[in-house]
Amino acid sequence: MTERKKSPVFVIGCHRSGTALLYDSLLSAGGFPLYHASPYVHTGLLRMCGDPSIRRNREKMLQLWLRSKAFRRTGLGVEDLRSEILQECKSGGDFLRIVMGELARRAGVQRWAVYDCDNIMYMPVIKQEIPDALFVHVVRDGRDAAVSMNKQHGVPPRLWARERALFAWALLWQWTVRRGRRYGQKFPADYIEVRYEELVGHPEKTLRTLGEFLDHDLDYGRIQRNAIGRVVSPNTVWKEESGAQPFSPVNRWKSKLSPPEIAHLESLIGDGLEEFDYPLATERRRRLEPKLRLMRMLYPPYFGAKLFLQSKTVVGRLAKGTRLELTPV
């Protein structure tokens, strides 16, 4: 086990929850290699290639990696880590240690950080492969997360009509954050939750607490002086608000949703909101209408089945690798 100040950091959370802001805050603080990409190892490469302990899977993994945006952003050469990956990489954790470790070495720093929201689904596996891994779970108000996902993606995860998209995204938020907390409770000393609202509203205090957990100097003044990425430019889907002064991404749901939508949403995920200490706006939860009740019944098993098929069966091998942004063969 390495010293905590050298332990790798995994930034995780539901989509549209501020994970990019937190990751760029870490990079702005210094002490991490400036890597502006998500490697998508457990969430992409392994799904498509299978167990890397098998040589042919390792070779396929390397081939895809060399065609990916994640590789292009490393600044490494095609031959730099080829032999090391082919000889020593037996797991996704090995792959990350080899690649990110080399980036840290070249940057003259002792640790590295990885940003990939969906790593939240693979926390136990990552922890087994990288025992000293630390997890930072960014949690945002599920109403704001659902509104933002609905704005960005529109069409919901399949199963329901477009007009119910908001509620599908809300259920995805609840399913994701609960899974992250449940996994984190298995290794509480190496897991922390950071409220997006506190990161935005009280950044100095929030980063100081996080810095103590990570054993890393997250001086807010230095972060502001060396600000990069989302620390400088908000990662917002509401472009009309990005230049507003002051820019306020918190409690946007209050102005974006109608009173009936708020009531339905809180009836649907109210228990999840309260579980994560987000107070409800409606005094009394309404009885769920039949369609929403059915959604709440069907979507969690659907999300779980989809994850299982993608990560545990050959279905994952059929992925086109869109998120890897592969160059043509």
Which phi and psi angles does 113 have, rounded to 5°? Answer: -130, 150
The pLDDT value recorded for residue 241 is 57
* 2-46: pLDDT as tens digits: 689 999 999 999 998 999 999 999 999 999 999 999 999 999 999
Identify the band that residue 136 occupies on the pLDDT scale cut at 50, 70 and 90.
very high
Q: Provide the mean pLDDT of the chain.
A: 91
* 199 Cβ contact list (under 8 Å, min separation 6): 18, 21, 22, 25, 138, 206, 207
- 159 pLDDT more than 70: no
- Mean pLDDT over residues 261-273, rounded? 94
Cis peptide before 188 (omega within 30 of 0): no
* 243-262: pLDDT as tens digits: 555 567 889 999 999 999 99
The pTM of this model reads: 0.93
Q: Kindly report the length of the chain.
A: 329
- Alpha-carbon dihedral sign for residues 202, 186, 116, 164: negative
* 185 token code pair: 């409770």
Higher pLDDT, 241 or 201: 201
